[in-house]
Amino acid sequence: MIEVRDLTKVYGALTAVQGLSFSVAAGEILGLVGPNGAGKTTTLRSLAGIIRPTRGEIRIAAHDLAQDPIRAKGALAFIPDEPQLFDYLTVGEHLRFTARLYRQPETVADIPAMLAELELSDKADSLASELSRGMRQKLAIACGLLHRPAVLMLDEPLTGLDPLGIRRMKRTIAARAQAGTAVILSSHLLPLVEELCTRVLIIHRGERVAYGTTAEIAADRPDLAGRGLEEIFLSLTGQGDAPSP
């Protein structure tokens, strides 16, 4: 559903992402992790068609992002960690606008259930500028999910959510994957990645340092056998001497 080959992004003298290749099948949740500045957001923004890669091929739901950007983008939803909303549209107006933007008027019927799933029903008539940070996050996710994307990309989706919101968001992400959506989840919250993701892609200084299930990654390194993702991550990113909390 997502196929990435040799993705490279150069900013001036800095290579932010270098020769990254991976794929995500329908129903799979790939955890994208890496230290600050590793190139995660650059990767997600390239996959979403927001920035143009310097090199490489990206296919979203079998559509080449460079050759057929409208179809590729129509099949995906990207929810950044700082969602951009329209301050003078209400919650309901955001969703109805999204349905029109993606030319899926029939999804308007799904709006009440979507608002209920994300606990926004009583905010349907509130302006985006009147929402709390967590509610803004939920609205961005509702807009992303409404058009039933084949590919869902989330950057730190739990930021600002309360404990019940976190539980529900985890269920929402898992349910979408179970229904066949290919998901990329980027987060520094390694327990979340371990809980939800079927495979993990660890990047460091723009390059892939590990890719697979935690068991597969540890199998290549006998010293990491039986270790959790946090220890694998710290070791593979050269931060292995960091003291445990």
Task: Give the residues lining the site for ligand ATP (CB under 6 A).
Answer: 11, 14, 16, 34, 36-42
Strands 76-79 and 151-155, sheet pairing: parallel
Q: 17 vs 150, which CB is nearer to ligand ATP?
A: 17
Q: 40 vs 73, which CB is nearer to ligand ATP?
A: 40
- How far apart are alpha carbons 30 and 3 in whole angstroms? 12
Task: Collect all residues with Cβ–Cβ distance below 8 Å to 229 and sequence separation of at least 6.
Answer: 33, 190, 191, 193, 194, 200, 214
Q: 39 vs 49, which CB is nearer to ligand ATP?
A: 39
**Minimum gap (Å) between residue 210 Cβ and ligand ATP:** 15
- Residue 205 C-alpha from the chain's centroid: 19
Kindly provide the residue ranges of all beta strands, DSSP E only, lying in 122-214, ordered along the sequence: 151-155, 182-186, 199-204, 207-212
Q: 80 vs 144, which CB is nearer to ligand ATP?
A: 80
**Minimum gap (Å) between residue 140 Cβ and ligand ATP:** 17
Q: Which residues pair with 207 in a beta bridge?
A: 204
- How far apart are alpha carbons 29 and 184 in whole angstroms? 6
**Minimum gap (Å) between residue 34 Cβ and ligand ATP:** 5
**Minimum gap (Å) between residue 37 Cβ and ligand ATP:** 4
**Minimum gap (Å) between residue 108 Cβ and ligand ATP:** 34
Residue with tokens 């960091």: 242
- How far apart are alpha carbons 1 and 243 in whole angstroms? 39
Q: 117 vs 155, which CB is nearer to ligand ATP?
A: 155
